[in-house]
Amino acid sequence: MKRLSACLVLALLAFTAPVAHAVQPDEVMANPAQEARARSLSRELRCMVCQNQSIDDSEAPLARDIRLLVRERIAAGDTDQQVLDFLVARYGEFVLLKPRFEPSTLPLWLLTPLLLIGGGIALWGYNRRRAKVVPADESRLSADEEARLAKLTGVEPASGERL
């Protein structure tokens, strides 16, 4: 699990730096609204030396650098999108934990809806095909059966019930 990837980081850092935590007290921004923005942006950014960890979770020094950079940009008045663009320009698409919607990521984004819709249509078609092959309504009695039933019970079926 994730703890193991953290462990990799720990192992790498063991001789260079003491164990650090993700977001350090000294990083926290004074303005709570800006800090909240920084935190939610941090969750969308990858710590590039870690295994699938966001910079919000990571203890690596690089993650701390990017966290500080994010806060710097926010303090400078950038919008969220501008911060992300800035980081992509600097570190590449790899930094985004949620890839952008682009030609190269089309299959990634479209598989789920296509599969759901395709599966739904396939099931619908399958059901129709099956329904055609088999007599439409099995639950009703055939005219023959109605007649036999009527004979056995001695009751005339109501005219509406007849097929």
Partner 1 sequence: MIAEAGHYALVLALGLALIQSTVPILGARLHDAALMNVARSTALAQLLFVGASFAALVTLHVISDFSVVNVFENSHSLKPMIYKITGVWGNHEGSMLLWVTILALFGGLVAAFGNNLPLSLRAHVLAVQAWIATAFYLFILLTSNPFLRIANPPIEGRDLNPVLQDIGLAVHPPMLYLGYVGFSISFSFAVAALLEGRIDAAWARWVRPWTLVAWIFLTLGIAMGSYWAYYELGWGGWWFWDPVENASLMPWLAGTALLHSAVVMEKRNALKVWTILLAILTFSLSLLGTFLVRSGVLTSVHAFATDPTRGVFILLILCIFIGGSLTLYIWRASALKQGGLFAPISREGALVLNNLFLTTACATVFVGTLYPLALEVLTGEKISVGAPFFNLTFAPLFVPLMIAVPFGPMLAWKRGDLLGASQRLVAAGIGALIAVAVLWAWTWGGSAFAPLAIGLAVFVILGALCDLAERISLFRAPLPVSFRRARGLPRASWGTVFAHAGIGVALIGIVCETTWNSEHIASMKPGDVAQVGGYSLTFDGTAQRQRSNFREQIARFTVRKDGQSIAVMTPSKRNFTTRGSSTTEAALLRRGVSQLYISLGDAKPDGTIAVRMYYKPMVLLIWFGPVLMAFGGMLSLSDRRLRVGAPKPAKAGRALQPAE
Judged by the rule CB under 8 A, the positions of this chain that interact with partner 1 are 1-8, 10-11, 14-15, 18-26, 28, 43-44, 46, 51-54, 57, 92-99, 104-105, 107-109, 111-112, 115-116, 119-120, 123, 127, 130, 134, 138-139
Residue number, 134 or 155, with CB nearest to partner 1: 134
Q: How far is the CB of 3 from partner 1 (least distance, A)?
A: 4
Residue number, 76 or 121, with CB nearest to partner 1: 121
Residue number, 10 or 141, with CB nearest to partner 1: 10
69-77: which pairs have CB atoms within 8 A and are 24 or more residues apart? 70/38, 70/41, 70/42, 70/45, 71/27, 71/29, 71/34, 71/35, 71/38, 74/29, 74/34, 74/37, 74/38, 74/41, 75/29, 75/34
Distance from chain centroid for Cα 23: 25
Q: Measured between alpha carbons, how far is 3 from 82 in angstroms, rounded to an integer?
A: 32
Q: How far is the CB of 103 from partner 1 (least distance, A)?
A: 11
Residue number, 58 or 73, with CB nearest to partner 1: 58
Q: How far is the CB of 149 from partner 1 (least distance, A)?
A: 20
Contacts of 49 by beta carbon, 8 Å cutoff, 6+ apart: 9, 12, 60, 62
Q: How far is the CB of 80 from partner 1 (least distance, A)?
A: 13
CA distances from 32 to 25, 70, 75 (A): 13, 15, 12
Q: How far is the CB of 82 from partner 1 (least distance, A)?
A: 18
Residue number, 54 or 73, with CB nearest to partner 1: 54
